[in-house]
A and B are shown apart, each in its own frame.
Chain A
Amino acid sequence: MSAMLAVERVTKRFRGLTALTDVSFEVARGEMAVVIGPNGAGKTTLFNVITGFARPEEGRVTLAGEPLAGLAPHAVVRRGLARTFQIPRPFKSLTVGETVALARPSAAGKVLGAPGTGDAERVLRLVQLWERRDEPAGTLSQGDLKLLEVARALATNPALLLLDEPYAGLGPGEMARLTRVVMDLHAAGLTLVIIEHKLRELMKLTRRVIVLHYGEKIADGTPAVVAREPRVLEAYMGGRGGMAEHA
């Protein structure tokens, strides 16, 4: 029961293509895990399977011991598992404040206390968007949109938060701001799983890295251990596809 998230032998196929092959890992309560891997490694597919947006052909996912199989995405969120999208998906006809107020809070969460009226403000202050609460969500900058994604997910009061490439498209100042938010959430005891390319930003923060390559888990451990793994070096540095720029 110590694992917040358990991914057990998950395989996901699209037509002929196998996007995930027999992937297993656990994330402990309060842990921060980073999932890395070259483009097309299956990272986003993994998130989609975990959050109910895609159904795996084999294997299962459990949240705090409860299987999530067959639950619709919104039902997964109500169980306390929230996600963000790599490319922000704002509600363009709502304001920042309305966006956050619309999220349906789960009962499982760590971020908010008991569901109440102050939640929207707390979440927006956390990501420093409170001053922009009356602006239409569609008019935010790319960086603010990314933070609004995080705010909307937090407003569902998750016990586990999945962030899909939160740093992509951010400038240096925005990155620092996001890192502060992530550290605050980690310190508050929220369990986090983060997909990221920007390793430098995260290696400072995390002690747990999971590496996917062509849909398989090829390494899992501390950043130092993973960086010495021969298959990781091969995936990133040499051989197939020339992924050196991500390292």
Chain B
Amino acid sequence: MTRRLAVRLAAVAAALGALALLPLWVSNPYVLSVLTLAALYAIFASSWDILSGYIGQLNFGHAVFFGVGAYTAGFLGPHLPPLLVLPAGSLAAVVFAFLVGLPCLKLRGPYLSLTTLVFPLILERLAFTFRDVTGGEYGLRVEPPLSGLGLYFAALALLAATLAVLLAVAESRLGRTFRAIGDDDLAAMAAGINTTRYKLGAFVLGAALAGLGGVLYAYHLRHVGPEVFGLFTSFAIVIMGIVGGMGTILGPAIGAFFLTLLGESLREIETYRLLVYSGVMILCVLYLPRGLWSLGEALPALARRLGRAAPR
């Protein structure tokens, strides 16, 4: 294990440990519910990052994967024990990763991103079309096996596992291969790397984790409907990733917490949430191009500079 990986895992353990202890002092169910949602978005945004941030193929359709996971909870929840619904949601998302990935991933550059934008919209339409199964615009009621504090802990545990897996991948030879493809895919081919296969691998890995999160997302909402495939959901993930700092795994997770909490604190202007998100993203792109994550690198540097300046 590299030092950097150890430091980051320790930071994740500390941050999520603190969140896990929070209910000792804060018992307000609304606060816990918001934090649960933030943790779920953090799962989506960090699992999005492996393809989008590392390989550099901006995926506008990540909602496909957690949406499929959520619908799986809706379909199978009444028939399967909860511990089987989670892997089923993940598996369903992986199946869709192949369905979307195989035709798309041979595309290079912006074409892949544009294509990924279309798939959630197709699924949204299908949810309306097959209303006997999906409940159409009303969606499906989901009876959650966990709620409140239990669901909060489950979301934190899944987030911890997701971040640990993704960080371990990112710091491995596999992660370096992803970064190399993101840097220059022609050069990666010239180094003997099968870029299509690795792109598909990143797609599948991200989908598997997002599918797990999608099941908990349905439990959290107690409902799943076609809006999960809506444009807002897909863009929200992209914005969280960019605001947090792409290609860092932890950055998008931080972005998810930041924007979810910001969104909730501005609840009165709910309608304008996407506007607020976009505004924050534009500010980030202009003044903090590598996202909130880079604050973590900028602050120590600033402190060192102040520290050097002080003795004089």
Q: Is the CB–CB distance between B183 and A94 below 8 Å?
A: yes
- Per the bound structure, the CA–CA distance linking A105 and B193 in Å amounts to 10
Cβ of B180: which chain A residues have Cβ within 8 Å of it? 91, 93-94, 99, 102
Interface string of A67-100 (1 = CB under 8 A from B): 0000011110110001111000111111000110
A29 within 8 A of B: no
- Per the bound structure, the CA–CA distance linking A53 and B189 in Å amounts to 9
Among A74, A84, A85, A155, which residue has the most Cβ atoms of chain B within 10 A? A74
Q: Is the CB–CB distance between A91 and B193 below 8 Å?
A: no
Q: Which of B182, B184, B194 contacts A74 (CB 8 A)?
A: B194
Once A98-B176, A102-B177 are accepted as A-B contacts, the answer to whether A90 and B184 lie under 8 Å apart by CB is yes
B3 within 8 A of A: no
Q: Is the CB–CB distance between A102 and B182 below 8 Å?
A: no
A45 within 8 A of B: no
Cβ of A11: which chain B residues have Cβ within 8 Å of it? none
A191 within 8 A of B: no
- Per the bound structure, the CA–CA distance linking A104 and B192 in Å amounts to 5
Q: Is the CB–CB distance between B179 and A94 below 8 Å?
A: yes
Once A98-B176, A102-B173, A102-B176 are accepted as A-B contacts, the answer to whether A89 and B192 lie under 8 Å apart by CB is no
On chain A, the number of residues with a Cβ less than 8 Å from chain B's Cβ atoms is: 30
- Per the bound structure, the CA–CA distance linking A147 and B42 in Å amounts to 42
A197 within 8 A of B: no
Cβ of B176: which chain A residues have Cβ within 8 Å of it? 94, 98, 102
Among B176, B180, B189, B191, which residue has the most Cβ atoms of chain A within 10 A? B191
B24 within 8 A of A: no
Nearest chain A CB to B169 CB, angstrom units: 15
Q: Is the CB–CB distance between B183 and A102 below 8 Å?
A: no
Once A94-B176, A102-B176 are accepted as A-B contacts, the answer to whether A73 and B183 lie under 8 Å apart by CB is no
- CB contacts under 8 Å to A, within B6-23, are none
**Residue in A closest to B173 when the chains form the complex, CB atoms:** A102
Cβ of A73: which chain B residues have Cβ within 8 Å of it? 186, 189-190
Once A94-B180, A102-B173, A102-B180 are accepted as A-B contacts, the answer to whether A72 and B194 lie under 8 Å apart by CB is yes
Cβ of A91: which chain B residues have Cβ within 8 Å of it? 179-180, 183-184, 187-188
**Residue in A closest to B190 when the chains form the complex, CB atoms:** A83
Once A74-B195, A98-B176 are accepted as A-B contacts, the answer to whether A90 and B183 lie under 8 Å apart by CB is yes
Nearest chain A CB to B202 CB, angstrom units: 15
**Residue in B closest to A89 when the chains form the complex, CB atoms:** B187
Cβ of A105: which chain B residues have Cβ within 8 Å of it? 192
Once A53-B186, A85-B187, A102-B173 are accepted as A-B contacts, the answer to whether A93 and B192 lie under 8 Å apart by CB is no
Cβ of A85: which chain B residues have Cβ within 8 Å of it? 186-187, 190
Would you mind naming 10 contact pairs between A and B with Cβ atoms under 8 Å apart? A53-B186, A82-B190, A84-B190, A93-B182, A93-B247, A94-B180, A99-B180, A102-B177, A103-B191, A104-B193
* 3 pairs of A and B residues whose beta carbons are closest in the complex: A104-B192, A89-B187, A77-B192
Starting from the known contacts A72-B194, A90-B183, A90-B187, 12 additional A-B residue pairs (CB-CB under 8 Å) come to A51-B190, A72-B189, A89-B187, A91-B180, A102-B173, A102-B180, A102-B191, A106-B192, A153-B190, A155-B191, A156-B191, A156-B192
